[in-house]
Structure 1
Amino acid sequence: MAFKPDDYKHVKYLWKDEEADNLSPVENLVYRSNKLGEDQRITNTGGGNTSAKLFEEDPLTGEQVEVLWVKGSGGDLRTSKKENFSSLYADKLRALDSVYQQYPEKGYKSAGEDKMVGMFKHCNFCLNPRASSIDTPLHSMIEEKHVDHLHPNAVISVASCKDQEALTAKIWDGKLAYVPWMRPGWEAAKVCEDTYEANPDIWGILLGQHGHTNWSSESKSCYETSLWVIETAARYIEEHDKGENTFGGQKVQSLSEDKAKSLLTDFMPIARGKLSKNVKYIGTLQNDEATLRFVNSVDAPRLAELGTSCPDHFLRTKIKPLYVDFNPETDSLDELVTKFDAALEKYRADYTSYYEACKRADSPAMRDPSPTVVLIPSIGMIAWGKNKSESRVTAEFYNCAIEVMRGAEAISEYTALPQQEAFDIEYWALEEAKLQRMPKEAPLARDVVVVIGAGDGIGKAVAHRVASEGAHVVCADLRLDNAKATAAELEEIYGKGIGVSGSGISSCGPAIALEVDITRRETVEELFTNVTLAYGGIDKVIVTAGVFLAEGDDLAKNDKAFDLSFNVNVKGGYIVASEAQKVWEKQQLKGMMVLTTSVNGAVSKKGSLAYDTSKSAANHLVRELAVTLSPLVNVNALAPATVVQGSSMFPRDRVISSLSKYNIPFDESDTTEDLRTSLAEFYAQRTLTKLPITPEDQAEAAYLLVSGQLSKTTGQIISVDGGLHEAFLR
């Protein structure tokens, strides 16, 4: 190869013989795929595919047969395992060409082209259920043993140039042939096969507006060829880079971090509300140096209007982003919102016109015409999706689009796909079928749920419960380490999400941990600012944080207990509600809030005067907030009783005190949980159901109140106490 491992500057050389040489052929293919996927400059999330033609034992005949192993549909090279690869009998796959030739209409836009995809499963080896990629024929028709098909930014830059064919010959010195844009499929693979056979000395093919394919007889050399193709293009672009004149030079200065944060705290919920009129969106902010260089540039409006080129890009980003002509030196927040409103109205009208002009008789119905990428000079990019992972991936793809435009403008002139071609990809029957096959969204999949007190007990159980219904969970707690532990548990179960990597609050996944002291307004304000920057806004707020202090018999010495009880249990809920209200009013999307009070607020007894009266006040706070925040926000409460298990309100000393008070036998050597269990069983016998009350019982009630199933219930307190008749409504 032209480069040694240490020579690469624009890609990472990650192959290690000591790792690869001990692998089986299929494992080696997976290894190659993972190493390619590790570097986002090589391919983007879910994009590209790799293959190997290997001999396997036929389970029916016992004979050795050639099998094409190729990364299946929907897989990601970085994370793919063997089960993410399709396996097909190579001879059966090749024989499908005779089937294709029988269709009365042939060509890459024909109905027969789409029907071929359904034929792939007839070629499956060993009943492999993994759906085959649309690029499977390409890997089949190239006769070499190992094939990589990738979408690197540097290569797409060349493939998106006005002079793409001439530049292909020049940059790769004839080692790459050129095939103009064709929608992926059987006919495109046939063209590549003919090109390969007519040029036996080439190492690969540049696919116009798309990416490249290369091959080799060995897995390692195929990997190295892929890197060579990308490095060669990147070096050529670097030689022609325009430096300060990139994208026509800078037009607008970036805001300082503090000013940008302040502006985004106000703007993101407003934007989320306006975008979410049909379906709700979750946001990701991208404001790195490369993004700001683009949005702040002279050419950003022109290039943004052209839209993206590579099909992989605009399937995520739509045909083009929404660009807001904002100048922070002259425009206020109100003017930004006014300009956004006008740009959004025009975008939706343009998208509708695009759909009407390009639709075909059998096209799926028009999807939401709202943008998924919003570009704002001086601030950056906000990407939107149905969940955090999707918005992060959308941001990643537009990052790639920016790099493609930078490279194309450096060496020639950027061009985008014609609108009809873009439409035929976006509304492709196969893409629509893929969307229809996706599982139904979970009830809270598009919601951001802030759980305050998520570090343990009821709050931790609530965080797990809403996460199980798809929510994006903000685990907030006075003890940040506890909040992080809960968030880590959720990530272990539901994943960290995929997409752009990096530091900062906006690169979070479906769960995040934040510190808050609900008695200090500035920390609550900071909490909601961080949540807004992470996800774009909030939907539900559940407060389980509370405090119980033991009191003495001398009432005059319980001032501290009163002050702290009312500060946390009453004023804390008020502060949270008043800060959340700011976000809800900006969004104008339906919100829900749940406070945690106690049946002690309705039951008079001795020994917990401060706690009980504070919870009684909290009950009325719920009713007042329900009136104040209506009709936009429903406010309700759950009222637990004696939730001993896992509760920070029942530390070991309090449990022992209660056991002694009620003459319940115990041993000092018992674990805290054993002691709690004994106390919980005692309390259970005082209820009508005779069952201990658990944090999970409370979590179920909290979920019910934010699920939408009680959408016409507000100002109510639901007791979850096992049936304490003393607390019955009266």
Structure 2
Amino acid sequence: MPYKPEDYKFVKYLWEDDVADKLDPIENLVYRSNKLGEDQRITNTGGGNTSAKLMGKDPLTGEEVEVLWVKGSGGDLRTSKKENFSSLYQDKLNALDSNYQSFVDKGYKSAGEDRMVGMFKHCNFCLNPRASSIDTPLHSMISEKHVDHLHPNAVISVASCKDQEALTEVIWGGKLAYVPWMRPGWEAAKLCEDTYAENPDIWGILLGQHGHTNWSNESKSCYETSLWVIETAARYIEEHDKGEMTFGGQKYSSLDGYSSKALLTKFLPIARGMLSNKVKFIGTVQNDEATLRFVNSVDAPRLAELGTSCPDHFLRTKIKPLYIDFNPEQDDVDTLIVKFEQGLEKYREDYTAYYNECKRDDSPAMRDPSPTVILIPGVGMVAWGKNKSESRVTAEFYNCAIEVMRGAEAISEYTALPAQEAFDIEYWALEEAKLQRMPAEKTLARDVVVVIGAGDGIGKATAHRVAREGAHVVCADLNLDNAKATAKELTDIYGQGIGVAGSGISACGPAIALAVDITRRETVEAMLADVVIAYGGIDKVIVTAGVFIAEGSDLAKNDKVFELSFGVNVKGGYIVASEAQKIWENQGLKGAMVLTTSVNAAVSKKGSLAYDTSKAAANHLMRELAVTLSPLINVNALAPATVVQGSNMFPRDRVISSLSKYDIAFADSESTESLRNKLAQFYAQRTLTKQPITPEDQAEAAYLLVSGQLSKTTGQVISVDGGLHEAFLR
């Protein structure tokens, strides 16, 4: 073993014999893959492949045959399971070479490369449906039993140097051979096969501008060789690290946290609006020490213009980021916005020129020419994607690119892929086919939906309903613990990454929990600012928060009831709308707002004077907001009736009071929910449909109003009351 487990400084040695030795060969491959992927310094999300050539019984002949198990296309090493690996007959893969050569002989080399990927499925063992990776032939042609192909930052740093071949010999002492850049595929695999045949004592190969491949006849030693390759490169880079002169030294200082957040709160919605000229994007802010060291440096403009090196990186980050010439010590946010607008126009022009200069006769149509990575001195990086997950991965990949540039500049001089080679990867027919195979996006997939009152009842049901349609959901509530509970339910279903204000919220996932008191403007402003930092902007706001307070018979003593009722049910909606208006106008993107009122707004009743009149006022507030916020924002209202189940507006004492009032039998020992169900059934009999009204019924209407299906509807109240004829439009 090259290093003792305790001697590793730049990777984690995670192998445990007690675990690995109990696994069957396929499980052992999965274990090795997971341990490699667990350390992000070893390979990025979705990157790298591992494989093992194992014996298996042919289901047709019953004979023992050699099967290549290799991580399939689109899988992630850290999370991969057996079903994420493709399995192929090794002898059939070998036989494909003659098929490839026939295309080369006819002058169809590029077409032959693409054809080979389609042929892999003819080699599938046991009808395994997992799509094979483009790197499958690399694993097949190396004769050793176990092969790892990885993209570690330290190794790519070497592979991106101008003198990468000479450095390969210096750093790894002849244990790694070198092959220059070649697009992944059959021909690249054959070059590696020939290199190994000519150098049988090597442990692996450095792939120019790409990464490395290493191998062994045992799984554990293959894992340890992978770690040795990375550790050796990282140690060499560390020995040559330039310290304070990294990236030419510091040019700018970072803004303090308060100033940076204030700047981003205004900038991000404007940037999102400008970027979203075709489709909307979700943002991720990255402002860790490594990112700030790069964006604040002397060399950042030069290196950013060169673009990324590793193909895995620029498929997410595009060929280069947009670096904004912003001086945080002199310029203000308005100057940043002007410079961004100018930079965006130039970036789109440059990208269009890049496409036109490099396109081939059969190239796919040009994709959105907007940048996915924005670099701002003093502030950090903003990455953009179709959803939060993609923007986070984009940020991760450009962080990898920064580390690659740091390492390359420490030991030599950083170089990027030539534009034509980069284009041929970005617009590769196989990559385009992957995009075309992706399922259609859900209705709210690119939307940020703020649900106020998401801690329980209608709000919780609404948060779940919009999340089911792909929305990024902000679970806001006066009770933060309840909001957290709802957000956790969503992240457990749709992915991890719950964020709470003040604890790394920009790194959140599909749902976040935030506290808000809609009667206090400063908390609404703070909550919406956190949303902007988390996702880049806001699209839809649904207010389900409300209050019902039982009144005394003496009207003169109900002043406080009136104040609180109007404060929450009317003024609260106004405050939310007026604060969201600033963000919506900065974005310039179509949006929607839904207020929750009540059928009581149209029906005169006894004992709920403050509640009913406040809801009537809320109805007219909605109409006024529809006029004020038009044409950008559609504003409508949802009017429930007697939603008893799961509602905090119906605590146990109120339910018991109502049951007693209507002479409905009950026992004190019954649960609150059982009592609520009895009351709900009673109320249902007073409706035309004779069915209890549930929070999910209201959530369905709320979703409909923000889904875009009623895009021509604004200023309207939608009643979900089971059919109360007393509340019919009058």
- Give % identity: 85
**1:51-97 deviations in whole A, cap 9, x for unaligned?**
00000111111111110000000000000000000000111111111
Q: Give per-residue Cα distances to partners, 1:619-660, cap 9 Å, x unaligned.
A: 000001111111111110000000000000001100000011
Match of 2:588 in 1: 588
**Does the Cα contact within 8 Å between 1:105 and 1:111 map onto a contact in 2?**
no
Tell me which residue corresponds to 1:80: 80
Matching residue of 1:561: 561
State the partner residue of 2:473.
Answer: 473
Give the aligned partner of residue 351 of structure 2: 351
Q: How does 1:273-288 map to 2 (within 5 A)?
A: 273-288=273-288
1:106/1:464 Cα in 2 relative to 1: closer, same or farther (>3 Å)? farther
Separation in structure 2 between the aligned mates of residue 214 and residue 613 of structure 1, nearest angstrom = 74
Q: Which amino acid aligns with 1:488?
A: K
In the alignment, which residue of structure 2 is the partner of 1:214? 214
Q: CA separation in 1, counterparts of 2:266 and 2:338? A: 14
Alignment partner, residue 643 of structure 2: 643
Do 2:2 and 2:225's aligned partners in 1 also have CA atoms closer than 8 Å? no
Superposed, 1:308-347 pairs within 5 Å as 308-347=308-347
Q: Give the C-alpha shift of residue 106 in structure 1.
A: 7.5
| Alignment CA distance shift 1:542-1:498 (3 Å) | closer
Distance in 2 (alpha carbons) for counterparts of 1:484 and 1:497: 12
2:12 maps to 12
Quick check: 2:55–2:64 contact (8 Å CA) kept in 1? Answer: yes
In 1, are the aligned partners of 2:272 and 2:587 still within 8 Å (CA)?
A: yes
Amino acid across the alignment from 2:229: V
CA contact (8 A) 1:474 1:531 kept: yes
- Mapped pair 1:603 → 2:603: yes
Q: Which amino acid counterpart does residue 236 of structure 2 have in structure 1? A: Y
Residue deviations 1:420-472, cap 9 Å, x none? 00000000000000000000000100000000000000000000000000000
Name 1:495's counterpart in structure 2: 495
Partner of 2:657: 657
RMSD of equivalent CA atoms: 1.2
Cα distance in 2 between the residues matched to 1:579 and 1:339: 26
Q: How far apart, in 1, do the equivalents of 2:117 and 2:329 lie?
A: 54
Aligned residue number for residue 89 of structure 1: 89
Indicate how the Cα distance of structure 1 residues 487 and 114 shifts in structure 2: closer, same or farther if over 3 A, else same. same
For 1:109 and 1:610, locate their aligned partners in 2 and report how far apart those are by CA, in whole Å: 78
Counterpart Cα distance in 2 of 1:105 and 1:612: 83
User: Which residue does the alignment assign to 1:32?
Assistant: 32
* Structure 1 spans left out of the alignment, 5+ residues: none
Give yes or no for contact 2:49–2:71 (8 Å, CA) kept in 1.
yes
CA distance in structure 2 between the aligned counterparts of 1:302 and 1:639, rounded to whole angstroms? 58
| Contact 2:457-2:695 at 8 Å conserved across structures | yes
1:394 alignment partner in structure 2: 394
Tell whether 2:244 aligns with 1:254.
no
Provide the residue aligned with 1:433 in structure 2: 433
In 1, Cα distance between the equivalents of 2:102 and 2:5? 48
Amino acid at match of 1:341: E
Q: Answer yes or no: is the 8 Å Cα contact 1:100–1:106 preserved in 2.
A: no
Q: CA deviation at 1:211?
A: 0.1
- CA contact under 8 A between 1:389 and 1:497: conserved in structure 2? no
Contact 1:392 1:498 in 2 (8 A): no
Tell me, in whole angstroms, the C-alpha distance in 2 between the residues paired with 1:455 and 1:250. Answer: 46
1:543 — aligned with what? Answer: 543
Which residue pairs with 1:625 in the alignment?
A: 625
TM-fit CA distance, 1:362: 0.4
Counterpart residue number, 2:44: 44
Asked if 2 retains the 8 angstrom alpha-carbon contact of 1:108 and 1:185, the reply is no
Shift of residue 2 of structure 1? 2.1
How many Å separate the matches in 2 of 1:416 and 1:109?
Answer: 25
Distance 1:234 1:637 in 2: 59
Distance in 1 between residues matched to 2:121 and 2:105, nearest whole Å: 22
Cα 1:107–1:189 change in 2 (3 A) is: farther
Contact persistence 1:107–1:187 (CA under 8 A): no
Partner of 1:684: 684
How far apart, in 1, do the equivalents of 2:105 and 2:133 lie? 22
Whole-Å Cα distance in 2 between the matches of residues 334 and 519 of structure 1? 31
TM-score, normalising length: structure 2: 0.99
Q: Which residue of 1 aligns with 2:178?
A: 178
Distance of 1:494 and 1:117 partners within structure 2: 31
The one-letter code matched in structure 2 to 1:113 is E
Cα distance 1:112–1:156, how it changes in 2: closer, same or farther (>3 A)?
Answer: same
Distance 2:232 2:396 in 1: 23
Which secondary structure state, in structure 2, belongs to the residue aligned with residue 487 of structure 1?
helix
The answer to whether the 8 Å contact 1:547/1:568 transfers is yes
Q: Secondary structure at the match of 1:103?
A: helix
Taking structure 1 as reference, are residues 107 and 190 closer, same or farther at Cα in structure 2, changes over 3 Å only? farther
Task: Kindly report which structure 2 residues correspond to 1:33-182, keeping only aligned pairs within 5 A, or say none.
Answer: 33-104=33-104, 110-182=110-182
- Change in Cα spacing, 1:480 to 1:583, as seen in structure 2 (3 Å) is same
1:517 pairs with 2:514:
no
- Looking at structure 2, the residues matched to 487 and 684 of structure 1 have their Cα atoms a distance apart, in angstroms, of 31
Q: In the comparison of the two structures, how many residue pairs are matched?
A: 728
Sort the Cα spacing of 1:498 and 1:13 in 2 relative to 1 into closer, same or farther, 3 A.
Answer: farther
The ranges of structure 1 where at least 4 consecutive aligned residues each deviate by more than 2 angstroms after the TM superposition are 104-109
Instruction: Please give the alpha-carbon distance, in whole angstroms, between the structure 1 residues aligned to 2:701 and 2:651.
Output: 24
- Aligned residue for 1:530? 530
What is the rounded CA distance, in whole Å, between the counterparts of 2:498 and 2:591 in structure 1?
27
Q: Closer, same or farther in 2 for the Cα pair 1:619/1:176, shift >3 Å?
A: same
State TM-score, norm by structure 1: 0.99
> Which whole-Å CA distance do the structure 2 matches of 1:106 and 1:572 have between them?
73
- Give per-residue Cα distances to partners, 1:160-186, cap 9 Å, x unaligned: 000000000110000000000000000
SS, match of residue 408 in structure 2:
helix
CA distance, structure 2, for counterparts of residue 427 and residue 108 of structure 1: 18
**Cα deviation per residue 1:352-374 (whole Å; 9 max; x = unaligned)?**
00000000000000000000000
1: CA distance between counterparts of 2:492 and 2:253?
A: 41
Distance 1:496 1:728 in 2: 44
Contact 1:108 1:187 in 2 (8 A): no
Q: Residue type matched to 1:240 in 2? A: H
8 A contact 2:491–2:510 mirrored in 1 = yes
Shift of 1:38: 0.4
CA deviation profile, 1:537-583 (whole Å, cap 9, x unmatched): 00000000000001111111111211110010000000100111111
Output one character per residue of 1:212-238: Cα deviation in whole Å (capped at 9) or x when no partner: 000001000000000000000000000
- 1:622 maps to a residue whose letter is M
Residue type at the aligned position of 1:179: V
Please state if 1:418 is matched with 2:418.
yes
Q: How much has 1:591 moved relative to structure 2?
A: 1.2
